[in-house]
Amino acid sequence: MNTTIIKNGTIVTASETYEADILIKGETIVQIGREFPEEGADVIDAAGRYVFPGGIDPHTHLEMPFGGTVTRDDFETGTIAAAHGGTTMVIDFCLTGKDKPLEESIQEWHDKSKDKAVVDYSFHLMIGEMNETVLNQLPGIIEEHGITSFKVFMAYKNVFQADDETLFETLLAAKDLGALVMVHAENGDVIHYLTEKALAEGKTEPIYHALTRPPEIEGEATGRAAQLTALADSQLYVVHVSCQEAVEKIADARRKGAAVFGETCPQYLALDQTYMEKPNFEGAKYVWSPPLRDKKNQELLWKAIQSGDLQTIGSDQCSFDFHGQKDLGIDDFTKIPNGGPMIEDRFSIIYSEGVAKGRISLQKFVEITSARAAQLFGLSPQKGAIAVGSDADLVIFNPGVTRTISVDTHHMAVDYNAFEGMEVQGEVETVLVRGKAVVRNKETVGKPGSGRYMKRKTFQNLNAPTKAETLI
Ligand SMILES: NC(=O)NCCC(=O)O
Ligand SMILES: [Zn+2]
Ligand SMILES: [Zn+2]
């Protein structure tokens, strides 16, 4: 069994920061202390570096068919980029189809990820419609695949959108089965009305994507989902929260004791709606749903993270080339594939804009990039921790350097980077997944297929404030 020692580093977890060495045997952390015998061991010197638990990205769309095309990054390029960005596990969304057995869709996702991933991975399952047939398949899916989170889209009318009956029945089923329901919370019907109207008025540029999806539309759907969760006495995770209107609904539900959780993404913290007004159709690079918002929302989202109203950061990795994919919508903003490349820069942006700028603590950083996702998605304490017995998923991070984000140096397969030219503080140097280096001194050393599919445990309610939250 291989022995690895990480020495002289500063260990950062969701509850503390301290100096110690880590002894790894095979895939597991076996001891944390000092002066481990080095003979025969692979010794990594982490002096002057932070040692973080590997990032867990709970929201990716790798090789996903969407908007008449397929996302550029697959499980190989996407997870190599993830590893360079300090992420050691991703949870990808398995899309399903009407009248298609759920098992078939899950098998499709297993097939496209097989022998490709360099980090560990798991799947969430989309529920498009709830009925007896679907309901009967769910216990077997939890047992067989360890899929304990179900995704319901409240938007993308005539594509993925489910009705409220489906959402409510999914919440009821999830309560019985111990699963977490995830929602894309925007009112798809009203968006449909507003987009049709805009097009009829000849408004075709990318900025109209944002103007036809105002924050009220996200706030309304978030509030509706939260109310239905309380009624069902179930549990809810709202993905990609972008604005005050939605944060308020989550905070309100949590104050009333509901098991409602929220995720935001780097793009909503570091970019704003003005990017969508860039000339020469460049605004299309910044088309996400929900859309980028007015800048005032950024500080509000940071505050919601530090106060615990929002719990996690997902990348919502959904990359499309600017040339050949985003330009499907050159004459009609509704045809611009929604989404952007984000898997690689999630950790960096949150560290640089959050920790380095004093908006969040180091403990909160670990909590939102790793530990909370592990708890909510049934991976704790195996993942999201630096502790004896946990998987040796570790990131060695140099906080003392700056780097400039660019398409020229990123590892994603896509032809632009949404943060092009942005200078960030800190850099991921070495990344271990279950004790094995996948990135070493910024070089890719992991082999496609070394990432392992992870079955996940059922949902545990951890709605209580964390240590980092009680300190503020
Ligand atoms: N967010 C986005 O624009 N694209 C990815 C699909 C989704 O999460 O809605
Ligand atoms: Zn979404
Ligand atoms: Zn998404």
Query: Would residue 272 count as lying in a domain?
Result: yes
Pocket probe mutation, ligand 1, options 288, 325, 343, max atoms within 8 Å of Cβ = 288
Residue 460 phi, psi dihedral angles, 5° rounding: -115, 130
Contact call for residues 127 and 134 (beta carbons, < 8 A): yes
**DSSP assigned state of 317:** B
**pLDDT, tens digit, 9 for 90 and up, residues 283-325:** 999 999 999 999 999 999 999 999 999 999 999 999 999 999 9
Mean model confidence pLDDT for the chain: 97
Span from the CA of 289 to the centroid of ligand 2 (angstroms): 6
CA of 61 to the centre of ligand 3 (A): 6
Whether residue 400 is contained in a domain is answered as no
Structure pTM?
Answer: 0.97
Pocket mutation for ligand 1, best pick of 264, 289, 315 (most atoms within 8 Å of C-beta): 289
Name the token pair of 409.
Answer: 């140096």
The span from the CA of 403 to the CA of 415, in Å, is 19
Domain range for 311:
54-376
Report which ligand 1 atom has the smallest distance to the Cα of 287. Answer: 3
Pocket test residue of 57, 60, 61 for ligand 1, highest count of atoms within 8 A of CB: 61
Examine the pLDDT at 469 and tell me if it is beyond 70. no
Answer whether residue 404 is part of any domain: no
Indicate whether 8 pLDDT > 90. yes
Q: Looking at residues 18-37, what average pLDDT do you find?
A: 98
Q: How far is the CA of 266 from the centre of ligand 3 (A)?
A: 13
**Helix (H), strand (E) at residue 133:** helix 132-145
| Tens digits of residue pLDDT in 125-160 | 999 999 999 999 999 999 999 999 999 999 999 999
- What is the Cα–Cα distance from 410 to 405, expressed in whole angstroms? 7
Domain membership of residue 453 (yes or no) is no
Decide if pLDDT at 465 tops 80: no
Q: Quick one: average pLDDT of 256-273?
A: 98
Q: Are 151 and 236 in contact (CB under 8 A)?
A: no
pLDDT of residue 55: 98
Query: What is the CA(38)–ligand 3 centre distance, in A?
Result: 44
Nearest to 313 by CA among 326, 304, 322, 321: 304
**Ligand 3 (single-atom ion) residues, CB below 5 Å:** 316
How many Å lie between the centroid of ligand 2 and the Cα of residue 37? 49
**What backbone phi and psi angles, to 5 degrees, belong to 12?**
-125, 125
| Residue 180 lies inside a defined structural domain of this protein | yes
pLDDT score for 427: 98
Q: Token digits for 195?
A: 């987009």
Question: What percent of the chain lies above the pLDDT cut of 70?
Answer: 98
Cα–Cα distance list, 352 to 153, 312, 345, 348, 439 (Å): 32, 16, 10, 6, 20
Q: Of the ligands numbered here, which is closest to the C-alpha atom of 318? A: 1
| d(CA 60, ligand 3 centre) in Å | 6
Ligand 1 centroid–CA 336 distance in Å is 12
Pocket (CB within 6 angstroms of ligand 1)? 61, 184, 240, 288-289, 316, 318, 338-339
Q: Which atom of ligand 1 is nearest to the CA of 59?
A: 8
Q: Which residue's entry shows tokens 């990205």?
A: 57
Q: Of 218, 240, 292, which is best to mutate to test ligand 1, by the most ligand atoms within 8 angstroms of its C-beta? A: 240
Which atom of ligand 1 sits closest to the CA of residue 155?
Answer: 9
> Measuring from atom 1 of ligand 1, which residue has the nearest CA?
289
Residue 40 included in any domain = no
Closest residue (by CA) to atom 8 of ligand 1? 316
pLDDT of residue 461: 79
Tokens of 124: 């969430």
Nearest CA to ligand 1 atom 4: 339
81 within a domain of the structure (yes/no): yes
Burial 242-263, CB ≥16 within 10 A → b, else e: bbbbbbbbbbbbbeeebbbbbb
Cα 331 vs. chain centroid, distance in angstroms?
31
- Ligand 1 closest atom vs CA 93: 8
Alpha carbon of 260 to ligand 2 centroid (Å)? 17
Residue 78 lies in a domain: yes
User: What beta strand segments (E) does 20-100 contain?
Assistant: 21-25, 28-33, 42-45, 50-53, 55-60, 65-66, 69-70, 87-94
Cβ burial, residue 176 (10 Å; 0-12/13-18/19+)? exposed
Query: Is the pLDDT assigned to residue 432 strictly greater than 90?
Result: yes
Rounded distance from Cα 61 to ligand 1 centre (Å): 8
Q: What is the ipTM of this complex?
A: 0.99
Number of the ligand closest to the Cα of 92: 3
Q: What DSSP string runs through 339-391?
A: -B--TTTHHHHIIIIIITTTSS-HHHHHIIIIIHHHHHTT-TTTSS--STTSB
pLDDT tens-digit map of 342-394: 999 999 999 999 999 999 999 999 999 999 999 999 999 999 999 999 999 99
**What CA–CA distance (Å, rounded) separates 271 from 420?**
12
Specify the pLDDT at position 76.
Answer: 98
- Overall number of domains in the chain: 1
Rg of the chain in Å (alpha carbons): 21
- Bridge partners of 234? none
Start-to-end Cα distance in the chain: 44
If DSSP codes are grouped into helix, strand and coil, which group holds residue 243? coil
Distance in Å, CA 469 to ligand 3 centroid: 27
Return the ligand 1 atom nearest residue 153 CA: 9
Q: For residue 122, give the CATH number of its domain.
A: 3.20.20.140
CA distance 421 to 292: 19
